[in-house]
Every structure is written in structure tokens, then in C-alpha cells.
Amino acid sequence: MDGRLLLKDCSLFRADGRVRTGMSVLIEGGAISQVSDDAALPPRPGDWAVRCGGRLVTPGFVDCHTRLVNAQLAPWAGHHLLLPLEERYRAEAVLDARLTVSEVEALTAAAIGRGLLRGTTMFVEHLHAPACVEEGLSAQARVARRLGARLLNSHASSSTTDSRPGPAQVEANARYVASTHQDPLVRASLGVAASFAADDELLRVVGRLKEELGVGCHFRLAESDEDLALTWARHHTRIANRFETFGILGGASIGAHARAIDRTEAERLARTRTLVALSPRLTHTLEGGSALGMEAVLLGQNLVGLGTGGAGTLWEELAASFTGVMTLARSGRMLDPDNLMATFLVSGPAELCTMVFGQPSGGIDVGALADLVVHDFVPAQESSNYTPHLLMQLSQTRALWTIVQGQVVVREGQLLATPQLGLEHDAARAVEAVWKRA
């Protein structure tokens, strides 16, 4: 799209739950260039002026831990979730090892399309495709560019895969990292599946390459008590300590779940600026772990965001997080639950995006990345902090327009690059093909 994009007559979201009505937002060159009262920003010839009609505009949302591909192969269902962690991982790995590049591409496209239609503008992907690591990650990058999404992807390398040794997976991941260094939409990190699935040699290679490349690392962190017990039995240490020993924690690194960590580990993660991607909905579905991990993280002033793990939506995770926070607040162990909702959905993810892409994000402010969502919702003007109330209302509405890097990717609820229905058919065929080969 050439020229300027101008959002007229907006209601602008603020993290304190209040809204600014009657506003205009001007977007130029992938960033917000002006925010003013509506009358002060008339459209010029050549502008694309979007008449928002008082609808709410928010920053784009970030899925801080997703499995765009693998969650579609082994959906979270009762018979699967009731398996012990290591057995469940092995069952998923059988399917993951059979993925081809074209299947990775098809499944990624359908999942990103769904996310864009819900207002997710950035996806932090943890791919596991050991037979085609570099090629699979590159296919995901092509999809993100084609659909106009922001992507940070890595490979969930492990030492338990027969098809390719763990260090070889990490080396392939590293080659891909180098190819995305200056990409405006796509960046890469290194990845580790989980502590119980990684031997010391794999972690040693990851730590060395992380330092050489200057990138973060994405890993599942203390997902359950079983993860913690397996790590202790094999390595005689707790998980966060083990990862720090190998240099894996740090800025732009993401630890998913963190359900079985204590206060000391939470402080370690906070000190290293490792983002914790919480998936609180899992506390109601997976055996093991507890709310103690969430409490430790929140009390430790950690950098936090929400992740879907590729199943469900960020709105479902937000509702579950509010339930967990209110439980802690009723027991006197958590203050200010309202502001935490904006931290989960906006503030923490925005800091991650800024670390990765090097520009301010997460606010509707001059100079910030123009990753925005126009919701089909007109908010009431509030005089107090009603952030949870406002966000829960948004969960019942659709994203009317989704804008990434200043480009419209969803218009009037429709994906612009290609019809979503075609992507869904391609994904269904890919799933069926993998299942048949398994």
C-alpha cells in the first residue's frame, strides 16, 4: 500500500483501562507518525482513510508461545493429555518427525491466518520438525511475509529424536537465524524442546551459538512437576539453574509455562530479563505443577506474556489468567489484579517485540511500530481502571481490521492475502497426510 494510512474517529485503548475517544492515528513507513484529535488530522489526497466510527483500536497482540504446526498434529485432547509428560512427548515426536516442508508451510499458513483474524499480529513459534529444520523454518518465514504477519520462530531441538542428532538440529536452526537478521517482519531465535529432552551437549551447543549470534532462545520451562523430577534425576539441578549454567537465559529468550518453578528461579528469570510465557489455561488441563509457578513469577516482577501453545486463543488464556490472579488476590497474596491483565496481554509482549525488532511497540504512540487492531466494538467511556472488563468484552467481538508494520492484512474481517478457507483446506490435507504416514 502506497501513501499514508489514516484511522479516523477511533477510541484508543490505554493500559489503565481508560479510552481516548474521537481520535485519529496516522501511519507512515510502518510506524505511527501522529496521534491527534480527529478534527486535527483531515485526510489528504492519496490517503487510505479508515472510518472507524468510534470503534476501539488496540496494539496488535503477541502470542508469546505458540506451536503453529505441531499443535494441529497432536491436538490437546483428554486421552493424549492424560499420558505422562515424557510419553506424551514421544507420541508427538513420532508425528513431528514425518513432517515435510510443504506440510509445515500449509499448517503454518492456516494457523497464522486464524491468528490475524483474531487480532494477533506477532507469533512466537516453537517448531519441531527435525527432518527439515532449516527448510521448515524458512517455509514459515515465507508464509509470514506472504500473509503480512510478524514472526519470531525457532526449532524445538531435542536429544531424543532418532531422525537427526540434537546438535545437528541446533546448527540448522543457527543457519536459519543468520538469514533473518535484517528482515522487517521475521526474526529468529534458537530453540530447545525442554530440559528433560535435552542433554548437556545440546545445551552446550545452544549456549555457544546464542552468544555468537546475539539472539535469544525459546524453550519449555518447568512445564510440570514431572519435567522438574526428570531433570533432577538426570542432572541433579533445577531447570532454571541448568539453563542459566549453559547461558540460555537472557534478553529476548522465552521460557514457556514455568508452572513448576519457585521464587528463587523466578528471581533468576527476572534478573536475566527472560520472558515467561504463561499458559494458565493449562493449569486446568495438565496434571502436575500448580499455581505456585504463576505466583512466583508475578511476585518476582518478571517479564511476562501469554502463549496459547498453538491450541485455543489468547482470549481464553487471558480469562484463565484473570481467574488465577483473582484466586491469589482473595488469599491476600496478590495486589492490583486489574493492571496485571494489560501486563499479560500488552506490556510484557511489547517489550519482547522491542528487544527483537529494535523499535518501540505495544502502545498507540508516535514512533511505535504500527501493529494495530480495529475491533468491532465501541467502548463506554470509563473514569476508573476497568481493564479486565474492557478486555473481556473484546474477547466476544471480532477484529475488523488488522494492521502489521503499517500494512492492512485483515480488512472488514477478511484476510487480504488469500481466502482463509483455502488455507484451511490445505492444512486439513497436510494433517491427513502426516497421520497416514504415521
pLDDT level of residue 83 (50, 70, 90 thresholds): confident
Please list the residues that pair with 57 across neighbouring strands. Answer: 12, 374
User: Looking at per-residue confidence, does 260 or 189 come out higher?
Assistant: 189
More confident residue, 421 or 385: 421
State the pLDDT at residue 197. 96
Q: Is the pLDDT of residue 128 over 90?
A: yes
Q: What is the DSSP letter of 427?
A: H
Q: Give 183's pLDDT tier (boundaries 50, 70, 90).
A: very high
Lowest mean pLDDT of 41-50, 152-161, 279-288, 332-341, name the range. 279-288
Which residues 6+ apart lie within 8 Å of 182 measured at CB? Answer: none
End-to-end CA distance of the chain: 44
190-194 and 186-188 strand pairing: unpaired
Q: Which of 257-266, 290-299, 407-416 has the lowest mean pLDDT?
A: 290-299
Cα(317)–Cα(39) distance, integer angstroms: 38
Rounded to the nearest 10 degrees, the angle between the axes of helix 85-96 and helix 225-235 is 90
How far lies 272's CA from each of 85, 203, 256, 269, in Å?
28, 17, 15, 5
Find out whether 151 and 126 touch, Cβ atoms under 8 Å: no
Distance of CA 209 to the CA centre of its chain: 23
Residue with cell string 537465559: 249
Q: Which three cell numbers stand for residue 423?
A: 488455507
Mean pLDDT of 253-257: 96
Ordered domains of the chain (ranges, CATH): 5-60+363-415 (2.30.40.10), 63-356 (3.20.20.140)
- Express each pLDDT in 194-242 by its tens digit: 999 999 999 999 999 999 999 999 999 998 889 999 999 999 999 999 9
pLDDT for 103 beyond 80: yes
* For range 161-176, the mean pLDDT: 93
For residues 35-39, average pLDDT: 96
Q: What pLDDT shows up at residue 85?
A: 87
- CB contact set of 5 (below 8 Å; sequence gap of 6+): 26, 27, 28, 47, 48, 50, 370, 403, 406, 408
Q: Residue 28's CB: how many other CB atoms inside 10 A?
A: 14
Q: What is residue 292's predicted lDDT score, i.e. its pLDDT?
A: 58
Express each pLDDT in 346-378 by its tens digit. Answer: 899 999 999 999 999 999 999 999 999 999 999
Q: Give me the DSSP letters along 160-172.
A: --SSS-HHHHHHH
Q: Following CA atoms 156, 162, 166, 168 in sequence, which dihedral angle do they give, to the nearest 10 degrees? A: -110
Spatial CB neighbours of 280, under 8 Å, sequence gap ≥ 6: 294, 306, 317, 320, 321, 323, 324
Given a cut of 90, whether residue 54 has pLDDT beyond it is: yes
Q: Please compute the mean of the pLDDT values over residues 104-112 and round it to a whole number.
A: 98
Asked whether the whole model's pTM tops 0.85, one would answer yes
Q: In angstroms, rounded to a whole number, what is the distance separating the alpha carbons of residues 342 and 338?
A: 8
Mean pLDDT of 140-159: 98
User: What's the grid cell of residue 307?
Assistant: 502463549
Q: Distance between CA 402 and CA 408 in Å, rounded? A: 6
Between 297 and 184, name the one with better pLDDT.
Answer: 184
User: Which residues, including other chains, have CB under 8 Å from residue 155's CB and lie 6 or more apart?
Assistant: 127, 128, 129, 130, 133, 136, 137, 169, 170, 172, 173, 176, 190, 191
User: pLDDT tens digit string along 234-243?
Assistant: 999 999 999 9
Report the C-alpha gap between 323 and 386 in whole angstroms.
16
Which cell goes with 111? 494457523
Reduce the DSSP state of residue 400 to 3 states and report it: strand
Q: Answer yes or no: is pLDDT of 289 > 50.
A: no
Distances (CA, A) of 198 to 194, 250, 258, 287: 6, 19, 17, 22
Q: What is the mean pLDDT of the chain?
A: 92
